[in-house]
């Protein structure tokens, strides 16, 4: 029985790209992650202006720099498989920009929760898709989506804020739920609008895909991880 592109990729990453549909899916996924990293850099750098003190401003700026640092390896991988990174990223500008417009934080604490919860949801979704890729691309995506140092910093600052003003908890819990809804809607919209990504999940690339039950389990996992992050912040999911 012949190997599927994903199975053959385990032993030879380059062979998977002989399938044009698989290559298109990888280009789309790398491109949406790359634009997401660029957007995260811009947003965090802007949110640093909301910081209450110089220490926090520097911390958030460092997080922004880490996000930008993830961009170059993604661009290099796109070039390696023969794609123009800027052209590949272009279709994702509107949906990602709209997500950030709809979830613009109103203060410092909302910006922290968004950096932790919102970005975490997106990263979880892309990691789920990356499980169906060749090892080299999968490893690059996992590295690119690694925590940029925000976890402990955000948890510490949000918990301290709630301790100082318990009323903050309810407002941030609502904000976290809104971020989850917006992030899942955006992820589903991006996948639905890109045929190659849909095929990657649905099995249109010479391999079994995810059935409805498997897709349901995937979104259950995303929901559970969101709840874990909210709990770490001291918020109700």
Q: Does residue 50 surpass a pLDDT of 60?
A: yes
Mean pLDDT value across residues 197-217: 63
Q: How far is CA 126 from CA 104, 112, 156, 190, in A?
A: 22, 21, 26, 11
| % residues pLDDT > 90 (the chain) | 49
How many Å apart are CA 26 and CA 17, to the nearest integer? 9
Q: Other C-beta atoms within 10 Å of 216: how many?
A: 11
Q: Where does the pLDDT of residue 148 fall: very low under 50, low under 70, confident under 90, or very high at 90 and above?
A: low
Residues 6+ apart with CB under 8 A from 31: 78, 83, 85, 88, 89, 91, 92
The closest of 33, 68, 72 to 194, measured between CA atoms, is: 33
What is the band of 14 on the pLDDT scale with cuts at 50, 70, 90? low
* pLDDT > 70? residue 149: no
Domains of the chain as residue ranges with CATH = 17-232 (1.20.1260.10)
| Collapsed DSSP state (helix, strand, coil) of residue 147 | coil
At 53 the pLDDT is 95
According to DSSP, residue 10 is labeled H
Query: Which pLDDT belongs to residue 8?
Result: 43
Q: Which of 136, 124, 191, 125 is nearest to 6 (CA)?
A: 136
CB 177 within 8 A of CB 114: no
Cα separation, 22 vs 6, in Å, equals: 9
> Model confidence over 166-198: pLDDT tens digits?
999 999 999 999 998 888 887 777 777 777 777
Per-residue model confidence (pLDDT) at position 190: 76
């Amino acid at each position: 029985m012949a190997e599927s592109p994903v199975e053959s990729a385990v032993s030879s990453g380059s062979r998977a790209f002989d399938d044009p549909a698989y290559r298109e899916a990888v280009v789309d996924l790398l491109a949406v992650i790359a634009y997401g990293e660029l957007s995260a850099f811009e947003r965090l750098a802007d949110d640093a202006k909301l910081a209450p003190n110089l220490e926090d401003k520097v911390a958030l700026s460092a997080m922004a720099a880490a996000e930008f640092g993830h961009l170059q390896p993604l661009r290099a991988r796109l070039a390696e498989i023969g794609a123009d990174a800027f052209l590949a990223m272009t279709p994702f500008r509107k949906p990602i920009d709209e997500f950030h417009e709809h979830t613009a934080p109103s203060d410092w604490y909302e910006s922290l929760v968004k950096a932790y919860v919102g970005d975490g949801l997106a990263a979880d979704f892309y990691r789920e898709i990356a499980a169906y890729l060749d090892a080299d691309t999968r490893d690059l995506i996992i590295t690119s989506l690694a925590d940029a140092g925000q976890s402990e910093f955000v948890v510490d600052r949000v918990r301290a804020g709630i301790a100082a003003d318990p009323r903050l908890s309810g407002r941030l819990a609502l904000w976290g739920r809104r971020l989850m809804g917006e992030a899942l809607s955006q992820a589903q919209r991006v996948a639905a609008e890109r045929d190659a990504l849909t095929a990657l999940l649905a099995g249109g690339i010479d391999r079994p895909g995810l059935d409805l039950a498997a897709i349901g389990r995937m979104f259950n996992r995303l929901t559970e991880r969101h709840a874990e992050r909210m709990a770490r912040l001291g918020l109700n999911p």
